[in-house]
A and B are shown apart, each in its own frame.
Chain A
Amino acid sequence: MGKIINREDVIHISNLAEMDYGSDEIDEMTLQLDKIIEHVAKISEVDTGNVSPTSHVLDISNVLREDEPRQSVEPEEALKNAPESSADGFKIPKID
């Protein structure tokens, strides 16, 4: 349907993203995604033969520190926003 993106791509990507699209939404998403990807694909015309990809905008190096125990989030605090929890953990639906 699209020039670059088709329905199957959208279904595949939504699987990777773990995010449902209803069958009625897939056509619209295909068109939108196709339009955006077609636009950004213009970067292919740039010659980047000897250029390294940016990993960080400023030149800073790894930050290391001693592994010392310190105050952290209390379990009850961490569980406060959970949709479902038990005394000591997050509750999830059955793993299928």
Chain B
Amino acid sequence: MELISMKAHELHELIKKKEIKAEDIARAHIERIEETDRNINAFITFKPGEIIENAKKIDRYISKGGVVRDFTGIPISIKDNICVKDIRMTCASKILADYTSIYDATVIKKLNAQNYLLLGKANMDEFAMGSSNENSAFGPVKNPWDLERVPGGSSGGPAASVASFEAVCSLGSDTGGSIRMPAALCGVVGFKPTYGRVSRYGVVAFASSLDQIGPFGRDVTDCINLYNAISGHDELDSTSLDMKDKKDHEYKSGQGIKGMKVGVPKELMVKEVDSEVKASILNTIKILEKNGADIEETTLPSLEYALSVYYIIAPSEASSNLSRFDGVRYGYRDKDAQGLREMYRKTRAAGFGPEVRRRIMIGTYCLSSGYYDAYYEKAQKIRTLIINDFKKAFSKFDILVGPTSPTTAFRLGERMDDLLLMYLSDICTIPVNLAGIPAISIPCGLSSDKLPIGFQIMADTLREDNVFKAAHVLESEINWKITPKI
């Protein structure tokens, strides 16, 4: 079997038995990136020499009897909004084009403890704002299944790198669907954990109450293992969950779904969902039923407002978080400006791209005096209604299911002139972030033009186990093959 087509857990077995070296795995992936990434553009920072050096270090560690853990020697791409010490981190923005991280994010510390192999920093929409990866100062990422189409966003680089066999796994961030949506469009598995399960320390804040780091893989097992590697309480993130007074539902593989109660919210099967996508989702639901799950249609009425609520809350938080980019402590500065205020204003005007500026403007407006109550506070009240709708649904159902994205991958440029159509791309993923619950996207079929379709599985807060159970059963029945055209 070709090295680049193997999953992390398969490579792990070979490394453990010393049948293969980390260096060989690294070289195979470097070769692949050099061959395909000029077309895909999944990487912003990629340094083959350093990768080989690090792989050799890992091999020395193993030969001296070091413990081989799940991700020891496994090449992983990291979204370029996650800090890796002494490596450039751009957030795909001109304003951070020359920034070098001075510390490791907690997720990176955890992966370092396993001696993982950093492949490079992955492309994304600028500051994770976008649904197509076209808002990158480093150029758009192309979908490996069709180079004229988008990979989805904002974690387009992570998704495309895994789908094109450039990386084994990846870490992305998900604020309104930024892991699940590109996973769906690229035909890979992407998981967004319960809010607070994975430390946000060292991920550049976009919307702090919604952001969560999560894994990409080519199968469910790799996503579960990577999630287990990066999750856990962290005192450096005050929103990180301390599980000692909470029940942890550990997932054991092969549990099956007999008797599992599955709800299908009609608000996620909206008119925007393409008929082919809908057919594939209904088909996948039948597989759940065949395996013993009880299926029932349900309703979460307040989800109708989720998109509007999100496009108030996320830009509001972003407008506050991004105020730190002012040309003083790091990043780009307009050096010709006269005086401090002009420097701020010109630096931010030239440093941020159009979508980021737009969201700063939306957020600043919604938080401004006279409008706060009507927009931000009102949105937070409806968010409470959305959370309550989910709570009610999960008092009856173990999981909720539906499409991840209303359509398959769209053409580059197709939605760039229609903001609201672009925002609609996330209509099925946004409710999950507003409620803080876990959700996965797994590939469930191909459209007639040979593009992947994603199936979304959601569960109650801290019930990752239910997500994984259903995902594993579906995966074993669907027999998905990743066949990108590159």
Which A positions have Cβ atoms within 8 angstroms of B? Answer: 5, 9-10, 12-14, 16-22, 29, 32-33, 35-37, 39-44, 46, 48, 51-58, 60, 62-63, 65, 73, 77-78, 80-84, 90, 92-96
B358 contacts the other chain (CB 8 A): yes
Per the bound structure, the CA–CA distance linking A13 and B364 in Å amounts to 6
Bound-state CA distance A1–B404 (Å) is 37
4 more CB-based (< 8 A) A-B contacts, given A36-B419, A96-B340: A14-B361, A20-B345, A40-B308, A54-B383
- Cα–Cα, bound, A12→B361 (Å): 10
| B418 and chain A: residue at smallest CB distance | A35
Nearest 5 interchain pairs by C-beta = A57-B436, A53-B380, A96-B339, A83-B333, A81-B330
> Could you tell me the distance between the alpha carbons of A81 and B195 in the complex, rounded to whole angstroms?
31
Chain A residue at smallest Cβ distance from B346? A20
Tell which of A16, A44, A48, A58 touches B436, judged by Cβ atoms closer than 8 Å.
Answer: A58
Evaluate contact between A35 and B346: CB separation under 8 angstroms.
no
CB < 8 Å: which of A19, A39, A62, A65 contacts B308?
A39
Please name the residue on chain B nearest to A17 by beta carbon. Answer: B364
Q: Is B446 part of the contact surface with A, judged by Cβ < 8 Å?
A: no
Question: Across the interface, do B333 and A84 meet the contact criterion of CB distance under 8 Å?
Answer: yes
Question: What A residues does B349 contact at CB under 8 A?
Answer: 19-22
State how many angstroms separate the Cβ of B345 from the closest Cβ of chain A: 4
Is B191 part of the contact surface with A, judged by Cβ < 8 Å?
no
How many angstroms between the C-alpha atoms of A21 and B361 in the bound complex?
11
| Contact among A16, A51, A80 with B385 in the assembled complex (CB-CB below 8 Å) | A51
- CB pair B319–A17 under 8 Å, yes or no, is yes
* A residues near B344, Cβ cutoff 8 Å: 18-19
B380 close to A10 (CB less than 8 A): no
Task: Say yes or no: A33 contacts B381, CB within 8 Å.
Answer: no
A54 contacts across to B, CB distance below 8 A: 209, 380-381, 383-384, 387
Chain A residues, Cβ within 8 Å of B235: 63, 65
B interface residue count range (under 10 / 10 to 19 / 20 to 34 / 35 or more): 35 or more
Jot down 21 A-B pairs with beta carbons below 8 A, ordered by A. Answer: A13-B361, A14-B361, A18-B348, A20-B349, A40-B379, A41-B375, A42-B308, A44-B378, A52-B381, A53-B383, A56-B239, A57-B209, A57-B434, A60-B242, A73-B103, A81-B102, A82-B330, A92-B343, A93-B337, A95-B340, A96-B339
In the complex, chain B residues whose CB is within 8 Å of the CB of A81? 98-100, 102, 329-331
- A63 closest partner in B (C-beta): B238
- CB pair A43–B103 under 8 Å, yes or no, is no
Q: Which residues of B are found within 8 Å of A62, using beta-carbon distances?
A: 238
Q: A interface, by DSSP: helix, strand, loop or mixed?
A: loop
Q: Are A19 and B327 in contact (CB under 8 A)?
A: no
- State A78–B101 Cα separation when bound (angstroms): 10
The answer to whether B43 has its CB under 8 Å from any CB of chain A is: no
B332–A94 touching, CB < 8 Å = no
Chain B residues within an 8 Å CB radius of A65: 235
Partner of B365, one of A37, A43, A73: A37
**What residues of A have a CB within 8 angstroms of the CB of B331 in the complex?**
81, 83
Interchain nearest-CB distance for B364 vs A (Å): 4
Docked CA distance A53–B380 (Å):
5
Tell me the smallest distance from the CB of A64 to a CB of chain B, in Å.
Answer: 10
Whole-angstrom distance from the CB of A53 to the nearest CB of chain B? 3
Asked whether B330 lies within 8 Å of A16 as measured between CB atoms, the reply is no
Q: Smallest Cβ distance from A55 to chain B, in angstroms? A: 8
Residues of A within 8 A of B365 (CB): 5, 9, 13, 33, 37
Give the chain A neighbours of B195 by CB distance below 8 A.
57-58
CA distance A77 to B385 in the complex (A): 45
B350, closest chain A residue (CB): A20
Instruction: Give B335's nearest chain A residue, CB to CB.
Output: A83
Q: In chain B, residues 371-404, which have Cβ atoms closer than 8 Å to a Cβ of chain A?
A: 374-375, 377-385, 387
Shortest Cβ distance from residue A10 to the other chain B in the assembled complex, whole angstroms: 7
**Would B360 and A17 count as touching, CB distance under 8 A?**
yes
Residue of A22, A44, A46, A57 with highest tally of chain B CB at under 10 A: A57
Residues on the B chain within 8 Å of A40, using CB: 308-309, 311-312, 375, 379
Per the bound structure, the CA–CA distance linking A80 and B103 in Å amounts to 12
A80 to B98, CA, bound (A): 11
State the CA gap A35–B310 with chains docked (Å). 16
**Quick one: CB contact mask for B430-461 with A, threshold 8 Å, 1 for yes?**
00001110000000000000000000000001
Cα–Cα distance between A18 and B312 once the two chains are bound (Å): 20
> In whole Å, how far is A6's beta carbon from the nearest beta carbon of chain B?
12
Q: Can you name the residue of chain B whose Cβ is closest to the Cβ of A40?
A: B308
Q: Which of A16, A35, A93 has the most CB of B within 10 A?
A: A93
Report yes or no: B378 in contact with A43, Cβ–Cβ below 8 A: yes
Q: Is the beta-carbon distance between B381 and A17 smaller than 8 angstroms? A: no
**A43 with B343, Cβ < 8 A, contacts A73-B102, A77-B102 known:** no
Taken together as a complex, chains A and B put the C-alpha atoms of A48 and B343 apart, in Å, by 42
Q: Check A44 against B374 for contact (C-beta < 8 Å).
A: yes
Question: Within residues 309 to 338 of chain B, which ones have a CB less than 8 A from any CB in chain A?
Answer: 309, 311-312, 319, 323, 326-333, 335, 337-338
B385 touches A48 (CB 8 A): yes
A21, B329: Cα distance in complex, Å: 23
B83: shortest Cβ distance to chain A, in Å?
Answer: 12
Measured CB to CB, the nearest residue on chain A to B102 is A77
A38 to chain B, nearest CB (A): 10
